[in-house]
Amino acid sequence: MISVLSVLLLILWDSNSLQRFKFFRLVPSALIVVLIGVLLNSLFTITLPYFAIETKHLVSIPTFSQTKGITSLLTFPDFSLWQNPQIYITAVTIAIVASLETLLSIEACDRMDKRHRITPLNQELKAQGIGNFISGMLGGLPVTSVIVRSSANINAGARSKASAISHGVILILSVLLLPGLLTLIPLASLAGILIMVGYKLTKPILYKEMYRKGMTQFVPFAITIFAVVFTDLLQGVFLGVLVAIFFILKTNFTRAVILVSTEKNYLIRFTKDVSFLHKNSLRQAFEAIPEDTKLLVDGSSAHFMDQDIKEMLADFTMTAKTKNIEVELKNINID
């Protein structure tokens, strides 16, 4: 009930009919959803205990000892386990997943930014690496850019890095000073907020736009989404990359080498750089040229030409004489 109510309230709060009023534009809808979730669950606890949410379905915040202070929350590394290979496998896996999540979040946030700024990816990953190292030394979880907090800042009108810093400060103060209040928040309310954030990032119109761009764009896009949903982020993105590579290679095979003809005059044109990957396309073009013809091979658009391609051109130039094919090379040096 709380989750469904949260989603409906978020939809209603962000509707055009309510956004006309200043109050609904200033007060974040997610904050209202959380407050209503807490109040509704408290009402259930008092009047209808059967409907009350169990503790395991509420936010869990660690509390620190009054005698040891905040240091009771810290867990320092056990360096005696440095010879355990499983640690390095886990570390590499977390690094890859966290980096992928950060890059994906940045891609989405850059598109949401009304000022159309571009995030420096190398700087972001370096900062994340340093943050993860420090966090790990203190027994904390890995750090990564998350679309939920980032989109919350953007939707709140954030314009600079100060929003992320103030966001972190508020989280720290909330955990240290208000752990009792935070543990009253139902996870169902947060789930409703996450559902709406995910919907805004993957609206149906996005699927239509990708479909209009062609199968080479839509198929990797759709496979990545379904693979992430039914497996996990790392496997989903990896599968999507493999599918994308297949389409990239397929496109290179078909578009790098063009063959046209008029009567007994043939033209092979390289539309871009050619490598060993295009040997099969070039071989098929050579096989399509009949005897007693003229052939012009134009490499004006190819700034780079693999040695394998040059060797094929040299071999065909030699064998073409036996078929009475006159070969001319333009802007191509096979020596």
pLDDT digits (tens, 9 = 90+) for 274-284: 888 788 888 88
pLDDT at 265: 93
Quick one: 139 and 221 in the same domain?
no
Domain assignment of residue 317, yes or no: yes
Quick one: 265 and 325 in the same domain?
yes
Quick one: 5 and 43 in the same domain?
yes
Domain assignment of residue 131, yes or no: yes
Quick one: 117 and 216 in the same domain?
no
How many folded domains does the chain comprise?
4
pLDDT at 253: 63
pLDDT at 19: 85
Using CA atoms, how far residue 85 sits from 88, 90, 91, 132, 185, in Å, is 5, 9, 10, 19, 39
Read off the pLDDT of residues 285-322 as tens digits, 9 standing for 90 and up.
899 999 999 999 999 888 888 888 899 999 999 989 88
Domain assignment of residue 67, yes or no: yes
Could you count the other beta carbons within 10 Å of the beta carbon of residue 16?
6
Quick one: 32 and 163 in the same domain?
no
Domain assignment of residue 7, yes or no: yes
Quick one: 141 and 236 in the same domain?
no
Report whether pLDDT(65) > 90: no
The parent domain of residue 316 ranges over 256-330
pLDDT band at 64 (very low <50, low <70, confident <90, very high): low
Contacts of 190 (CB under 8 A, 6+ apart): 34, 59
Task: Give me the CATH number covering residue 260.
Answer: 3.30.750.24
Q: What are phi and psi of 260, to 5 degrees?
A: -130, 160
Mean pLDDT of 132-137: 89
The pTM assigned to this predicted structure is: 0.63
SS3 66: coil
The one-letter amino acid at 327: V
Q: What are phi and psi of 30, to 5 degrees?
A: -65, -35
pLDDT at 289: 92
Alpha helices by DSSP H, 113-203: 121-137, 147-155, 162-177, 179-182, 187-201
Quick one: 213 and 188 in the same domain?
no
Quick one: 214 and 311 in the same domain?
no
Quick one: 225 and 325 in the same domain?
no
Domain assignment of residue 335, yes or no: no
Q: Which of 50-54, 109-113, 265-269, 306-310 has the highest mean pLDDT?
A: 265-269
Quick one: 150 and 290 in the same domain?
no
Quick one: 51 and 193 in the same domain?
yes
Quick one: 233 and 295 in the same domain?
no
Domain assignment of residue 298, yes or no: yes
Q: What is the mean pLDDT of the chain?
A: 86
Domain assignment of residue 103, yes or no: yes
